[in-house]
Amino acid sequence: MSELWNHTSLSDFILLGLFGYSTYDLFLFSLVLLASAVALLGNILFLVLIQANRHLHTPMYFFLSQLSIMDLIAMSTVVPKMAVNLLSGSKSISWGACATQIFLVVMVTGAECFLLAVMAYDRYAAVCHPLRYPVLMNWKACSLLTMASWMVGVSDSVIDVSVVFSFPYCGSLEVDHFFCEVPALLRLSCADTSFFEDLIYACCVLMLLLPLVVIVASYTRVLTAVIRMPSTEGKQKALTTCSSHLAVVSLYYGGAMFSYMQRASSRTPVGDRATSIFYTILTPMLNPLIYRV
């Protein structure tokens, strides 16, 4: 693995990118940069607001701050390199930088998946067990659940990076993507990667469906409790809070299921790039707007 960081002994990967140099492509690139700036500013302001307002020092906003951090990591891992490559005309990326991109993107996407399940459980505890809520979701419980989400993401990314860079790459090093993503790199390997691709598919299905079961179960109980509430104001407050989270879940799982719950044989570079834009740029931009305070 030492050669991974000593990129002078290896040829760099070439990121073919998302845009060319036509007027239309430069216009689209400007839109992407604008969306990225909005996402960056929105998430930073959201974090500052949560930190500055003591009334927002609650489990729900603690989890939201973690979600913003994950979105910032995903976006800052991908967008700056994409912009530098387009503006400088150089499309190369070292093996170490490529491994770092894979590690960070896989880490936050995996962690976010489980964090959304934690947030669903938090809403279940708040609505269905309001008197026990301070005990169920105390600071220690929130910290442990968040740490577990991050550790799942880290474990997944360590395995992915280790295995992906254990394969030989003896042909073209042109990555048909705007950042280093596991499926795009596996297409370049001159070894048989079918077993690992099937394993990735199985792990992705498991990592998506397990949290989704928790989310569906939590909100089924929440909706049942809301229907039984005698107060119209209580119903409205509960539904408003939960609808924001459900919107984010829909955004995340919509892109994630399309991207990761496909077998390698049915994936295409164009489809991979489209879904990558969705979860690295669009979702980080929309999350602070959905969770506006």
pLDDT at residue 115 in the model: 94
8 Å CB contact between 123 and 242? yes
List all residues 6 or more positions away from 181 whose beta carbon is below 8 Å from its beta carbon: 101, 102, 105, 272, 276
pLDDT at residue 9 in the model: 43
CATH 1.10.3720.10, applies to 13-291:
no
pLDDT at residue 201 in the model: 82
Long-range contacts of 18-22 (CB under 8 A, 24+ apart): 18/82, 18/178, 18/273, 18/277, 19/86
Q: What is the residue-level pLDDT of the chain in tens, covering all 293 positions?
A: 544 544 444 588 999 887 767 777 788 888 888 988 988 999 999 999 999 998 889 999 999 999 999 999 999 999 999 888 888 888 899 999 999 999 999 999 899 999 999 999 999 999 899 899 999 999 999 999 999 999 999 999 999 999 999 999 888 899 988 899 888 898 899 888 888 888 888 888 888 889 989 999 998 898 888 888 777 776 777 777 677 778 888 877 777 777 666 666 667 777 777 778 878 888 888 888 777 64
E strand or H helix at 276, and its extent?
A: helix 269-277
Ramachandran area for residue 207 (φ above 0: left; ψ -120 to 50: alpha; else beta): alpha
8 Å CB contact between 64 and 49? no
C-alpha span between 22 and 200 (Å, rounded)? 36
Q: Which residues pair with 174 in a beta bridge?
A: 14
8 Å CB contact between 160 and 181? no
Residue that has been written with the tokens 């974090």 in this structure: 47
pLDDT at residue 262 in the model: 67
C-alpha distances in Å from residue 259, one per residue of 64, 109, 111, 198, 250? 24, 12, 16, 14, 14
Output the pTM of the full model. 0.87
Q: Which two tokens stand for residue 79?
A: 């967008």
pLDDT at residue 234 in the model: 67
C-alpha span between 193 and 187 (Å, rounded)? 9
pLDDT at residue 114 in the model: 94
- Decide: helix, strand or coil at residue 34: helix
pLDDT at residue 85 in the model: 85
C-alpha span between 283 and 286 (Å, rounded)? 5
Domain boundaries, the chain: 13-291
